[in-house]
Amino acid sequence: MKRIFILGIVPLVLFIILHCIFIAGAYALGVSVFAHDLSDKQPTAHTALSGTKGATEIAAAMPALPQIAPPAGNPAGSTALSKFTREKLSYSIYWFGIHVGDAEFEAAGSSGNVIIKCQVHSTPAVSAFYKVDDHSESKVINGLPVNFRIKQREGKYRSDKETLFDPDKKHVTFFNYIKKTKNDYPVQGGALWDLISGFYYLRTQPFTVGKTIYIDIFDSNKFFQAEVNILGREQLMFPGTKILNTVKVKPILKSEGLFQNKGDILIWLTDDVNKTPVKVETKVPIGKVVAILKSLETGK
């Protein structure tokens, strides 16, 4: 079951994070999605840093983070992220009907700036032999991401990574605090998103069945372009609730850090202006993993 958790739940949850559903999460069926690894095609400045053991010493050994001014402009539609003034989504994750984990996404905004936080946790029963405790945060200013930080604990695996986006100078800086490395890249093309802000940006776009939405992503020191195919409309019945009208989409991301493409991923979002993700499903070597929205909080 440990391998199933690694290959299924973690990539899934961190995809809707488009790594905090699903990552989750977040992180397949008939959708054409491609990823271009551009990191070996663009000039980069790479710095390896020596330091002492421990998170505090490692952080101290890293060079000071550059001060990035708020981006002056934003791509068409990106300002729509400012609508997320307060939203908290909580999900339960199941494998063969067994509750194995939980994920939570919370977006809070004011004056056009948005902070999106994600948490993914294994249940106590699963944590007894394979604990998952992941946290990530994306900061969006003037409709564009400027900072993405993710800390992961998955079994014996640990990671602590940060990405700084400078949209005006078309530049991105990636820090790996565990490996004590820093990488700088020029950015080609238009808006560049981390997985979490990219997923929220997707939710602001019009969904037309049969069409494809393209999003440029930077994650885990790699660039890639995701295609998200709008498959169709479906009605879903949730226990104790009314029937929900949804739109089903299929994205594929190939990311070493948040999502590894180990199986098909399908996401159902409400067929309304909010496009709230209510269900995520992914195939794993044995069976499938399903994430279900269990609560939604909104407000000013």
pLDDT band at 286 (very low <50, low <70, confident <90, very high): confident
DSSP 221: T
| Per-residue pLDDT tens digits for 99-124 | 999 999 999 988 878 999 999 999 99
CA Rg value for the chain: 18
**Other CB atoms closer than 10 Å to residue 157's CB: what's the count?**
11
Cα gap 167→179, rounded to integer Å? 26
Would you place residue 241 in the very low, low, confident or very high pLDDT band (cuts 50, 70, 90)?
A: low
Give the model's pLDDT for residue 75. Answer: 53
Does this model's pTM top 0.85? My answer is no
Q: What is the tally of structural domains in the chain?
A: 1
Find how far residue 202's CA is from the centre of its chain: 11
Q: What would the two tokens of residue 132 be?
A: 């998952």
Quickly list DSSP for 126-154.
Answer: HHTTS-BEEEEEEEEETTEEEEEEEEEEE
Q: Give phi and psi for 81, each to the nearest 5.
A: -65, -20
Closest alpha carbon to 120 in 174, 196, 35: 196
Where in the sequence is the domain holding 95, given as residue range(s)? 2-298
User: Greater confidence, 235 or 242?
Assistant: 235
